[in-house]
Amino acid sequence: MPELPEVEVVRRGVARWVVERTVESVEVVDPRSLRRHTDGPEDFRRELTGLTVVNACRRGKFLWLPVRAADGSEPSRALLVHLGMSGQLLVASPEQPRSRHERIRLELSPALDESGQPLPEQLRFVDQRIFGGMLLDRLVPASDGHGTVPEHAVHIARDPLDPLFDVAAFHAALRRRRTGLKRALLDQGLISGIGNIYADEALWAARLHWAAPTETMTAPRTYTLVAACQEVMRRALDAGGTSFDSLYVNVNGESGRNTLNVYGREGHPCERCGTPIVRERFMNRSSHICPRCQRRC
C-alpha cells in the first residue's frame, strides 16, 4: 500500500498540474470508487462540476483538494482521495488511451505551464483493486485546532513530516498505548503516513525491535525514532517514493527509485553490521529486522 512518501509525491504533482483549474465535467466510469460518497454518482457529478481546485493537501496517506465555488467564496468542501492499495491519480490528455482500470475522469479547464505549453486536460483516477476512492467532503476544524480537514479524515493524526507534529505529545501517547512499537507506528490515529515498509526502515535506522513495549520507551528513544521516521521519509521523497510494481507511480505515471535497507531483504547482509536480515511474522504480515542491531529486549 502507498505510504506517506508515495502519496506526497502524488500531492506535489497535483499541486503543480491541477491547482487553480476548474472541473468542467465529471465522468464516473465505475460507481464503486464513489462508495464513500453516499449521495451517489449523480450528486458527485453535479456538485463537483464547476468547482475550482485551490490547493492540494495531505495528512498521512489521505490526500484532498479543497475546492471553491464560482462565487469565489472560501472553500467549505474538498475532493478527498484515498489511494487504497492500488489507486493512482494521473494527469492525461484526451488522446492518451484509457486504462482498463480507470474509474473516474475529471475534465479540467485549459491552462499553460511555465513555458507556455498547454497542460494535460484530464485528471484520471485509476484503481486496479478498487479499495480506494473519491468523496466530496465537508471541511471541518482539525482536532488540534489548527486549520481544517475533511470530515472523513479528522481522526487521522499528523504525520512526522508535518511542521505541527508534536513529538512530546506523541511520546506521552506512546507510553500510554501499552502495545508493540511497530503496531503503534501503524496506528494512523497516533502517527500517520507510516505503513509496513517505512515502519521496518525507521525501526532499523533507530536500532529498535518491532515488538519493543511502547510503555518502556524513554523520551530520547522516542525522539530518535521520530528522527529516523523523518529521515526515512525524506530520503524516499527525494527518490520519488518506493515502487515494487507499476501501481506506485506519480501523476505522470513514473515509478519511484528509493532503495531500502531492510524491508524485503531477508537473507541479505545488514548494511551496518553484515548480519543477515531476518523476516519475522507480524499481524498476518512480516517484519524485517537485523537480529544484531535490533535486539529484542
CB 65 within 8 A of CB 18: yes
Instruction: Return the HEC string of 48-117.
Output: HCCCEECCCEEECCEEEEEEECCCCCCCCEEEEEECCCCEEEEEECCCCCCCCCEEEEEEECCCECCCCC
61 assigned to active site: yes
Helix residue spans in 120-195 (DSSP H): 167-177, 181-185
Quote the cell numbers at residue 110: 485549459
Q: How far apart are CA 10 and CA 12, in angstroms?
A: 5
Q: Which of 129, 138, 285, 295 is catalytic?
A: 285
285 assigned to active site: yes
Q: Which of 21, 58, 61, 158 is catalytic?
A: 61
First and final C-alpha spacing in the chain: 30
Q: 26: helix, coil or strand?
A: strand
Cβ count within 10 A of residue 190: 18
Quote the cell numbers at residue 280: 519475522
Q: If we measure between CA atoms, which residue out of 252, 271, 253, 251 comes closest to residue 261?
A: 271
Q: Which residues of 169-187 are buried (b: 16+ CB within 10 A; e: fewer)?
A: ebbebbbebeebbbbbbbb
| CA angle (265 as vertex; 262, 268 as ends), nearest 5 | 105
3 assigned to active site: yes
At residue 235, what is the residue type? R
CB 65 within 8 A of CB 78: yes
182 assigned to active site: no
Q: Which of 2, 5, 66, 120 is catalytic?
A: 2
What are the catalytic residues?
2-3, 61, 285
